[in-house]
């Protein structure tokens, strides 16, 4: 299983986490993800996820003209999104804990 396949299931939560840190737009999210070491994300793959997050009511977006660059769509979390992010953190905590225990025991 490749990293990008593994990431598929948790990219939603990671994007919630990035947006949780402050209003941001697609390209900037990619750059922020890269800073955290997510290099396996194909850049385009975040947009279908953003569409889904918006459809589910976790994020809201607004188009803004930027003085230098292109028109950008900025995303923020809704209260529902904040709640979802908290739940994601809990689920990740317990999942990563279990996976860690398993793989470390094997070594």
Partner 1 sequence: MALSRESEEFIANLRMYLMTSGKNDHEINEIAEELRGHLEDAESRGKTVDSVTGGSPKTYLETIRNEMKTDYFGLTRLAPMFILLLIAYFITGSAIRGDLSFSLLKLVAYPAIALLSIGAYIYYFRKMSAANYSTKKELSIFIAIQIITTLSLAAVLFIDIFFFEPFYIPSRETMWVIAALGALVFIAGAIWTKTWITIILPLFLFGPDFILQFFQYNETTELIISASGLYLGMAVVVLILYWQNKKQNPHKS
Residue 40 binding partner 1, by CB under 8 A: no
User: Does residue 60 bind partner 1 (CB under 8 A)?
Assistant: no
User: Alpha-carbon distance 53 to 39, whole Å?
Assistant: 22
Assess 103 for contact with partner 1 (CB under 8 A).
no
Q: How far apart are CA 44 and CA 39, in angstroms?
A: 13
Establish if 42 lies at the interface with partner 1 (CB under 8 A).
Answer: yes
Q: CA separation (Å) from 51 to 6, 21, 23, 30, 54?
A: 20, 19, 16, 16, 5
Closest CA to 19 of 64, 80, 66: 80
Strand-pairing partners, residue 61, are 75
Say whether residue 8 binds partner 1 (CB under 8 A): no
Of 1, 21, 35, 55, the residue at the interface with partner 1 (CB under 8 A) is: 55
Distance in Å, CB of 56 to partner 1, minimum? 11
Cα(71)–Cα(18) distance, integer angstroms? 20
Is 81 near partner 1 (CB under 8 A)?
Answer: no
- The reply to whether 107 sits near partner 1 by the rule CB under 8 A is no
Binding-site ranges for partner 1 (CB under 8 A): 25-27, 42-45, 47-48, 51-52, 55, 63, 69-73
């Amino acid at each position: 299983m490749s990293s990008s396949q593994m990431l598929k299931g948790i990219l939603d939560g990671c994007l919630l986490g990035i947006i949780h840190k402050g209003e941001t737009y697609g390209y900037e999210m990619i750059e922020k993800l890269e800073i955290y070491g997510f290099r396996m994300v194909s850049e385009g793959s975040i947009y279908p996820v953003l569409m889904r997050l918006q459809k589910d009511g976790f994020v809201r977006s607004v188009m803004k003209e930027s003085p230098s660059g292109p028109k950008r769509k900025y995303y923020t979390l809704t209260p529902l999104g904040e709640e979802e992010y908290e739940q994601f953190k809990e689920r990740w905590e317990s999942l990563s804990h279990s996976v860690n225990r398993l793989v470390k025991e094997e070594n």
